[in-house]
């Protein structure tokens, strides 16, 4: 009987494999999801945008150079009389010039804006990492459910095959008068129930494959297959990662720390609005008229000048605006502390759930072995005429439930393992 079940398992592992199907591993699905997902592409664009913005902010350290030109025609040019002589200026006034403006001091505003742009660049990068982690977690969840539903379908077919064999045996016995017709009818009822179970499990698997196709960017009707045998792979309890290491790995923590940096800089940016603003300018000019009013020929000239502005009376506005930013900064610190506590709880909870899932596998597999032995014993007793048909049917159903419990425990282990890898930042 054991050898027959093993053969049935190997047979039904192939029952959903059809020519032309694309066999996908979990790693292949992860790669496809990253390659095709729109949210990943959006996050990538945000990273590039923040990089360009950071470069733009760094250019504020350099002087600003602008050029200008002008022309004016005077119908009545300027004239003066000197020592009895009248001198008339040129009718054409024109010039070409450059202005070189350098921000010398503005309360550190340029430096602070540049630092904030760097923080935003880091946030965009960590947001990409966070989006990727979430996508990979969803991909693994969909893959584990697809292999679980495929194995559930295989087991339903094994159960149906056992019933088919039993119905044939009972039919032969009924024809020879060894057992009543009632035995055959009860077995055929279970046979019909097994058919319905196969139909439900097949539908569940097909829906699972459509969901997996959607996540990895395929057409939902694309013909794919998954490696269901990995649901029976070896399991183990990993070494618990320290909270300090997790806080380094989790992108959410890095994002929050960069947001704190921005919030702190906003305090100083607000102060800079009320600091002296010092500018120096250099302006070379070529044009006419020149400094000799009597000479209409164009000449080159230059001017250098500085300016300083500073607000004097704002009626306490600076104090209130700075105070508001300080409260925002303190709130961001509290948010980081709350996030770290939440992550610590997530890690501990996921690790204990992982340990529990392993114990669940051990118990369900032990129960499955007992259900297998019980089924074989009762089948032999029924064939010898020592047990009623209902006992054998119940033993078969108990075998099915025990096998499904093993599948559920294996699925739970894979889900919890993915969750643990997610919360420690190593998905």
What is the C-alpha separation between 263 and 327, in angstroms, rounded?
10
Task: Output the six-digit token pair for 68.
Answer: 């200008």
Q: How confident is the model at residue 4 (pLDDT cuts 50, 70, 90)?
A: very low
Q: What is the pTM of this model?
A: 0.84
pLDDT confidence tier of residue 117, bands split at 50, 70 and 90: very high
Closest CA to 16 of 286, 259, 274, 198: 198
Q: What is d(CA 151, CA 112) in angstroms, rounded to the nearest whole number?
A: 58
* 346, burial (CB in 10 Å: exposed 0-12, middle 13-18, buried 19+): middle
Mean pLDDT across the stretch 40-48? Answer: 93
- Residue 191: which residues within 8 A CB-CB, separation 6 or more? 160, 163, 164, 167
Assess whether pLDDT exceeds 60 at residue 13. Answer: no
Residues 374-390 have pLDDT tens digits of: 999 999 998 888 889 99
Residue 73 to residues 95, 285, 294, 344: CA-CA distances in angstroms? 12, 19, 17, 77
**Is there a contact between 233 and 31 (Cβ–Cβ < 8 Å)?**
no
* 351 contacts 416 by C-beta, under 8 angstroms: no
Sign, Cα dihedral of 288, 291, 297, 300: negative
Lowest mean pLDDT among 79-83, 114-118, 320-324, 344-348: 79-83
Check residues 252 and 21 and name the one with the higher pLDDT: 252
The CA-atom distances, in angstroms, between 121 and each of 29, 144, 359, 405 are 29, 35, 45, 48
Give the least confident one: 82-86, 149-153, 192-196, 298-302. Answer: 82-86
Over range 134-139, report the average pLDDT: 95
Helix/strand/coil for 382: helix
Are the C-beta atoms of 38 and 175 separated by less than 8 Å?
A: no
Whether 397 contacts 190, CB under 8 Å: yes
Instruction: Please state the rounded mean pLDDT for residues 159-163.
Output: 93
Q: Can you tell me which residue has the tokens 């989790």?
A: 250
Q: What percent of the chain has pLDDT over 90?
A: 59
* pLDDT mean over 55-84: 84
Distance of CA 315 to the CA centre of its chain: 48
pLDDT category of residue 80 using cuts at 50, 70 and 90: confident
Q: Could you report the per-residue pLDDT of 220-279, keeping only the tens digit for each?
A: 999 999 988 888 888 888 888 888 899 988 999 999 999 999 999 999 999 988 899 999
């Amino acid at each position: 009987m054991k050898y027959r079940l093993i053969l049935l398992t190997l047979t039904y592992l192939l029952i959903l494999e059809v020519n032309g199907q694309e066999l996908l591993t979990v790693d292949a699905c992860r790669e496809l999801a990253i390659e095709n997902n729109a949210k990943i592409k959006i996050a990538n664009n945000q990273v590039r945008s923040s990089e360009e913005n950071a470069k733009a902010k760094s250019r504020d350290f350099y002087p600003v150079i602008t050029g200008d030109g002008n022309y004016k025609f005077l119908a009545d040019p300027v004239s003066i009389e000197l020592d009895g002589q009248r001198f008339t200026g040129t009718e054409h006034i024109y010039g070409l010039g450059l202005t070189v403006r350098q921000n010398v001091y503005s309360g550190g505003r340029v430096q602070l804006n540049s630092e904030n742009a760097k923080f935003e660049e880091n946030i965009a990068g960590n947001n990409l990492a966070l989006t990727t982690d979430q996508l990979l977690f969803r991909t693994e969840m969909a893959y584990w459910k697809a292999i679980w539903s495929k194995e559930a379908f295989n087991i339903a077919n094994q159960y149906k095959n056992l019933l088919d064999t039993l119905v044939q045996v009972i039919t032969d016995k009924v024809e020879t008068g060894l057992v009543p017709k009632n035995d055959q009818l009860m077995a055929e009822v279970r046979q019909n129930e097994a058919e319905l179970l196969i139909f439900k499990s097949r539908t569940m698997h097909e829906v699972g494959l459509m969901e997996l196709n959607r996540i990895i960017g395929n057409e939902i009707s694309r013909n794919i297959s998954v490696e269901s045998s990995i649901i029976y792979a070896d399991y183990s309890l990993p070494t618990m990662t320290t909270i300090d290491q997790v806080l380094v790995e989790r992108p959410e923590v890095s994002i929050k720390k960069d947001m704190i940096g921005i919030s702190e800089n906003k305090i100083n940016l607000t102060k800079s609005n009320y600091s002296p603003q010092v500018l120096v300018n250099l302006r070379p000019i070529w044009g006419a008229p020149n400094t000799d009013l009597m000479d209409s020929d164009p000449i080159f000239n230059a001017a250098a000048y500085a300016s300083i502005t500073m607000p004097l009376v704002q009626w306490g506005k600076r104090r209130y605006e700075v105070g508001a930013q300080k409260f925002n900064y303190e709130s961001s610190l509290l948010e980081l502390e709350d996030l770290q506590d939440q992550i610590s709880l997530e890690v501990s909870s996921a690790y204990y759930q992982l340990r529990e899932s392993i114990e669940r596998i051990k118990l369900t597999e032990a129960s499955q072995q007992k259900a297998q032995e019980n089924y074989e014993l009762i089948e032999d007793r029924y064939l010898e005429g020592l047990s009623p048909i209902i006992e054998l049917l119940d033993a078969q159903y108990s075998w099915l439930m025990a096998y499904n419990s093993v599948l559920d425990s294996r699925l739970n282990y894979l889900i919890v393992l993915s969750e643990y890898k997610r919360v420690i930042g190593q998905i």
